Structure 1
Amino acid sequence: MPSPTAAFRKGANALITGGAGGVGLATAKLCASHSMNLILVDNNSSKLDEAKSAVSSAGAGHVETHNLDVSSIQDWQKLKSHVEEGGKKLDFLHLNAGIGLNGDWTDTGYFHKIFEVNFFGAINGINTFFPHFQDNESEQKAIVITGSKQGITNPPGNPAYNASKSAVKTIAEHLSFDLAKSSPSTSVHLLVPGWTFTGLTAARGVTEKPAGAWAPEQVADYLYQKMGEGKFYAICPDNDVDWETDRKRMTWTMGDVVYERMPQSRWRDEYKEEANKTMEGMKLGAKQAD
Structure 2
Amino acid sequence: MAHPALTPGRGAVITGAASGIGLATATRLAAMGLKVVLADLPGAALDAAAESVAKVAKGGKADVRAVPTDVCRHDQVAKLREAAFAAFGDIAFVMNNAGIEATAGSYDDYAGWEKVLSVNLWGVINGVHEFAPALIAQQKPALIVNTGSKQGITTPPGNTAYNVSKAGVKVTTEALAHALRNEPGCRVTAHLMIPGFVFTGMTARGRTEKPADAWTPEQAVDFMMESLERGDFYILCPDGAVTREMDERRMEWAANDIIQNRPALSRWHPDYKDAFDAFMKAPRK
Question: Structure 2 length normalisation: TM-score?
Answer: 0.93
Paired position in structure 2 for 1:108:
110
Q: Alpha carbons of 1:4 and 1:250: their partners in 2 closer, same or farther (altered >3 Å)? A: farther
State the secondary structure of the residue aligned to 1:30: helix
2:104 is paired with a residue whose SS is coil
> Counterpart of 1:6?
4
Take 1:150 and 1:190, find their aligned partners in 2: how far apart are those partners? 13
What is aligned with 1:43?
A: 41
Residue 8 and residue 87 in structure 1: after superposition, are their counterparts in 2 closer, same or farther (change >3 A)?
Answer: closer
Alignment deviations for residues 171-207 of structure 1 (CA, whole Å, 9 cap, x no partner): 00000011012154212110011000011233x2110
Contact 2:195–2:238 (Cα < 8 Å) also in 1: yes
Moved more, 104-113 or 241-250: 104-113
Which residue does the alignment assign to 1:117? 119
C-alpha offsets along residues 58-87 of structure 1, whole Å, 9 cap, x if unaligned?
234410001111001121222233334378
Answer whether contact 1:20 1:44 (CA < 8 A) is retained. no
Task: For residue 7 of structure 1, give the secondary structure of its aligned residue in structure 2.
Answer: coil
- Give the alignment partner of residue 24 of structure 1, picking from 22, 25, 40: 22
On the 8 A contact 2:21/2:217 being kept in 1, the answer is: yes
Task: Please tell me whether the aligned partners of residues 13 and 36 of structure 1 are also in contact (alpha carbons under 8 angstroms).
Answer: yes
The structural deviation recorded for 1:4 is 7.5
Q: Contact between 2:57 and 2:64, CA under 8 Å: does it hold in 1? A: no
Give 5+ residue unaligned stretches, structure 1. Answer: 285-290
Q: Deviation per CA, 1:142-163, whole angstroms, max 9, x where unpaired?
A: 0000000000111110011001
Q: CA 1:282–1:60 in structure 2 vs 1: closer, same or farther (change >3 Å)? A: farther
Mapping of residues 204-219 of structure 1, within 5 Å: 204-219=205-220
Query: Which whole-Å CA distance do the structure 2 matches of 1:77 and 1:100 have between them?
Result: 24
- Contact 1:89–1:132 (8 Å) recurs in 2: no
How many angstroms does 1:44 deviate by?
Answer: 4.4
RMSD, aligned CA: 1.7
The CA distance in 2 between the partners of 1:194 and 1:86, in whole Å, is 34
Residue from 184, 198, 216 that aligns with 1:196: 198
Q: What corresponds to 2:131 in structure 1?
A: 129
What residue is the counterpart of 2:263 in the other structure?
Answer: 262
Secondary structure in 1 matching 2:37: strand
Q: What does 1:67-146 align with in structure 2 at a 5 Å threshold?
A: 67-85=68-86, 88-104=89-105, 105-134=107-136, 137=139, 139-146=140-147
Could you tell me whether the CA contact under 8 Å between 2:71 and 2:119 is conserved in 1? yes
Q: Quick check: 2:10–2:88 contact (8 Å CA) kept in 1? A: no
| Total equivalences in the alignment | 280
Alpha-carbon separation, structure 1, partners of 2:186 and 2:224: 20
Give unpaired runs (5+ residues) of structure 2: none
Task: State yes or no: 1:178 paired with 2:176.
Answer: no
Give the 3-state SS of the residue equivalent to 2:3 in structure 1: helix
When residues 265 and 13 of structure 1 are mapped into structure 2, their CA distance, relative to the original with a 3 A threshold, is same
